[in-house]
């Protein structure tokens, strides 16, 4: 699903070192995603999904609420629910789930927030 969204939005993607050791950033004025060079493949995909979520949500600036929204949308793109359920039967920790699903633990935590809200 994430690849379809990325293909539809078509942001410009540039690798460059960013301030504060950030892994990525999105500039809505130029529709550009900046990614830190030399990220591991899982880090790169997660960060690209996160920054693409900022683009999809029309975010400007940097605010904790926007960060949570981008984390959760990116996680929903990266983690298919049936795979999450299957892996959850085997792995009791976010780290184990992340390893099995080829995402970062932060993606698992964001996905779990989405599931908790959906249950309420």
DSSP 52: H
pLDDT (average), residues 3-31: 95
Domain boundaries, the chain: 2-119
Contacting residues for 77 by C-beta, under 8 A, at least 6 apart: 1, 2, 5, 49, 53
If you search the block for the tokens 């690209």, which residue do you land on?
48
CATH class of 2-119: alpha beta
Instruction: Look up the pTM and report it.
Output: 0.94
Between strands 12-15 and 32-35, the pairing is: parallel
Exposed, middle or buried by CB within 10 Å (0-12, 13-18, 19+), for 82?
exposed
User: Which parts of 1-120 are beta strand (E)?
Assistant: 12-15, 24-27, 32-35
Convert the pLDDT of each residue in 35-76 to its tens digit.
999 999 999 999 999 999 999 999 998 899 999 999 999 999
């Amino acid at each position: 699903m994430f690849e379809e969204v990325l293909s539809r939005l078509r942001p410009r993607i540039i690798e460059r070192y960013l301030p504060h050791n950030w892994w990525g950033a999105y500039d809505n004025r130029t529709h550009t995603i900046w990614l830190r060079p030399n990220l591991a493949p899982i880090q790169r995909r997660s960060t690209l999904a996160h920054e693409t979520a900022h683009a999809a949500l029309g975010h400007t600036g940097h605010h904790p609420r926007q960060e949570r929204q981008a984390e959760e949308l990116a996680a929903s793109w990266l983690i298919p629910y049936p795979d999450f359920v299957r892996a959850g039967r085997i792995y009791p920790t976010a780290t184990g789930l992340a390893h099995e699903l080829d995402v970062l633990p932060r993606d698992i935590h964001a996905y779990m927030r989405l599931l908790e809200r959906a249950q309420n």
